[in-house]
């Protein structure tokens, strides 16, 4: 029996790396079902991100990695057009799983849920996964060829 029936998490999931896998692993470990908000191309652009992969490709990649890494787990992927998506409206959501980087979103989410007369959610913060150099793994660092998706250093002049 899991701690929660339903939790939510989210991200752009452009190039899926160990940090993403840690976030998802934590969500699946504590919940019977996970709603994963996947940032739309339009919302990513508004946030200043330029994904390598479009929404459909990111959706397919995310579905495939979850099926491979977390088989037998119940999940739903929802398109995120704003910071919270279904986590605001789904009364049954009991927790929001966030990284250190996005932990402040929990307070904002609970404010929005209060306005809609919904119960507050627990905020579960997952520490950032660090690359071999002690700096966090990120899609940007992978795109810049600093590290690979496991956090191994690629630059020879570091």
Q: Is 47 helix (H, G, I), strand (E, B) or coil?
A: coil
Q: What is the pLDDT at residue 34?
A: 97
- Domain containing 38: what range? 4-129
Q: What is the pLDDT at residue 156?
A: 60
Residue 95 in any domain: the answer is: yes
Ranges of the chain whose pLDDT falls below 70: 155-158
Question: Do the Cβ atoms of 38 and 65 come closer than 8 Å?
Answer: no
Residue 38: give its domain's CATH number. Answer: 3.40.50.620
Both structure tokens of 15? 């190039």
Cα 145 from Cα 156, distance rounded (Å): 11
Count of the separate structural domains present in the chain: 1
Residue 42 in any domain: the answer is: yes
Residue 136 in any domain: the answer is: no
Residue 112 in any domain: the answer is: yes
Q: What is the pLDDT at residue 19?
A: 95
């Amino acid at each position: 029996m899991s701690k929660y029936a339903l939790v939510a998490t989210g991200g752009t999931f452009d190039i899926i790396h160990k940090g993403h896998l840690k976030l998802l692993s934590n969500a699946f470990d504590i919940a019977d079902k996970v709603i994963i908000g996947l940032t739309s191309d339009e919302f990513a652009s508004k946030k200043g991100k330029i994904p390598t992969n479009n929404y459909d490709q990111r959706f397919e990649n995310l579905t495939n990695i979850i099926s491979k890494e977390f088989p037998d787990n119940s999940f739903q992927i929802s398109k995120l057009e704003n910071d919270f998506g279904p986590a605001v409206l789904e009364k049954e959501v009991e927790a929001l799983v966030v990284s250190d980087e996005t932990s402040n979103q929990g307070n904002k989410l609970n404010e929005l849920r209060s306005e809609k007369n919904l119960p507050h959610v627990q905020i579960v913060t997952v520490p950032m996964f660090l690359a071999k150099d002690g700096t966090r793994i990120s899609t940007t660092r992978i795109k810049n060829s600093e590290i690979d998706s496991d956090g191994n250093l690629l630059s020879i002049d570091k």
